[in-house]
Structure formats: C-alpha cells, structure tokens
Amino acid sequence: VAALPSALAATFVALHADLAAASAPSGTTATAVALVGWHAVVANVGDTVAILDTGAEVVQVSGNHRLEGNPAETARVRAAGSEVGPAAVEGVAAGPVRVWPGGLAMARTLGDLEAGDAVTAVPEVRLVTLPPGGGRLIIASDGLWDAASAKAAAHRVRGLPASKAAGDLVAWAHRARGNRDDITVIVVDAL
C-alpha cells in the first residue's frame, strides 16, 4: 500500500509521455483505484470522479480537477503561468472557466499538450480506509456527475448487483442529459 501512490503517479506521467510521443490529438481524464485489503488507493486527473457508498454515507474519494469551483487548482495553474477564464464569443464570456492556452476546463489531464505545463498529468492520490462492512465504489466520468449528485447516484443503485448498477446509471444519465457527453461508469463492491 505504501508504494502505490508513487507507482500510480509514475504510471500517469508515463501514460502522458506516451500520448505525447504518439502525437495524440487530445487528452483524457482518468481515475484508477487499487484495492488492497481494507485500503483503496485512488489516483485521478480531471473530472472522472470516484465515490464510496458505505450504506451509511456517500463520500467522494477522488479529486475533481475542474477549475470551476476549485480555487486550489485555479491558483496552481495561475502560479504556473497560465491564464484562467471563460472563452469569449464575440467579446462576451461564455462557458466554464478554462486554462489558456489550450482552453481546457480542468487543471489535470493525460495527453492535453496544447495547455502547456500548467495542466499536469501528476494525479491527486488519496488513501482511503474502507469501513469494516465494506462499501460500493462508483467511478464515473462527468457524463454521470453532470446528470446526478453522488448521493442520488449511489442511492439509485443500492440493492442492485454491481454488474447491473453501472448500466442502470448510464441509462439514467443518458435519459437526463442525452448525448451531450460520454457516460462511463464502473461499479465495484469492495466487501
């Protein structure tokens, strides 16, 4: 468990380098969870977020690197020399806060080279101790989280097997928001 945070960080940075070497046209967000006994090591970049439903509470166990509502990431990006602000359409601010150059709405990603070094591939890593009764992890892209709160999503699929819960959440988010964004969901019961 002690070695996982640095191993995950090195893996994210290596993936970023691989994407850069392949001249990938754009990047991605990512969340990785390693379960070891009663510990979960969670590493992420971007707005693919992991939550833990213990049955008693629903807790976000990963970071979210969207600039909107994230003063720490906004300050980090500005300190690295990038500008932060919305896009302008005919001189009028439009859309979410973004990093310039690049126009990304988040401060950490894999493979987004146009934003420069201020947008980093170094993940935020958290160590979470699971409760004695275990819990359910829901790891999902913003396509789910833009459609539902963590609590609503977790409560919706309580009682469903993990194999059915992910599909149910995808369908639910799709009905709520249509084809506006990708909707990727993984559900794991850690018992």
Confidence category of residue 24, pLDDT binned at 50, 70, 90: confident
Percent of the chain with pLDDT over 70: 100
pLDDT digits (tens, 9 = 90+) for 129-151: 999 999 999 999 999 999 999 99
Confidence category of residue 179, pLDDT binned at 50, 70, 90: confident
Backbone angles phi, psi at 139, to 5 degrees: -115, 120
